[in-house]
Amino acid sequence: MSGFVSFVSSGPGDPELLTLKAVNRLQNADAVLFDDLSSGPILEHARKGADLVGVGKRAGRPSPKQSHVSRLLVDYAQTGQRVVRLKSGDSGLFGRLEEELVALQEAGIEYEIIPGIPSACAAAAAAGIPLTRRATARRVQFTTGHDLTGELPENMNLAALADPQATTVVFMGKRTFPKMATGLVQAGLPADTPAMLAEGVSTPNQTITRSTVSELAKQLEQEIGDHPALILYGPLADL
């Protein structure tokens, strides 16, 4: 007997930003496998008596392997349970969703994907800026700041990422942004392009730091801190 898996996107961290459908699935789940950034107050919506299993990954900390997380998800579902796989932000953005979908498909387990507020949108809202602007920011691009090894990806399209008329959002890039910034400037992005570091978005630890690409790179060479963060740069980051 197979159960059913709901991939629930929990948004950036504020439980008030959960969708109604996300809350409904949490309230009816037999088991919740959650990421670190989806824990805390968000889990208060889970049904009393549900299994709550932490499977989150954080840079620089001991974390379960993806194969273990996928296997655990399948094992719970194969007992006939209603399972919520709780992911931060929107689960389709840099959330390793594909690996878990493949595992369920191979096991013949049905699932659904419930979208959530992307952390990039929440960061812009927290900073009081839009992500687009007519004439000077017609495009928004999301990129990851590290590859599977934790290093800056070698095959990044720096020409596209150095477009001064795009708003660029870098996920998981605090450790690698100094190196990335060097490549961006070499690719033609002005060093004084406005940049913003958004940490702990929508949580009590939220901080927004406005800077430039070169100055932010220098800052992150000295101290990166423990809070999850996004880096935004482009024509809107200085509003």
What is the DSSP pairing of strand 229-233 with strand 194-199?
antiparallel
Q: Measured at the alpha carbon of residue 232, what is the angle toward residues 230 and 233, in degrees to the nearest 5? A: 155
> Is residue 36 a contact partner of residue 56, using CB atoms and an 8 Å limit?
yes
Which one of the listed residues 36, 57, 179, 238 is annotated catalytic?
Answer: 57
Q: Which residues pair with 82 in a beta bridge?
A: 4
Which one of the listed residues 14, 21, 30, 35 is annotated catalytic?
Answer: 35
> Is residue 108 a contact partner of residue 138, using CB atoms and an 8 Å limit?
no
Contacts of 91 (CB under 8 A, 6+ apart): 7, 8, 9, 85, 97, 113, 114, 115, 116
Q: Which residues pair with 86 in a beta bridge?
A: 8, 34
> Is residue 196 a contact partner of residue 209, using CB atoms and an 8 Å limit?
yes
Query: Among 191, 153, 157, which Cα is nearest to 172's?
Result: 153
> Is residue 141 a contact partner of residue 120, using CB atoms and an 8 Å limit?
no
Query: Among 235, 166, 228, which Cα is nearest to 198's?
Result: 228
Helix (H) or strand (E) holding 111: strand 110-114
Q: Identify whether 57 is a catalytic site residue.
A: yes
Instruction: Provide the annotated active-site residues.
Output: 35, 57
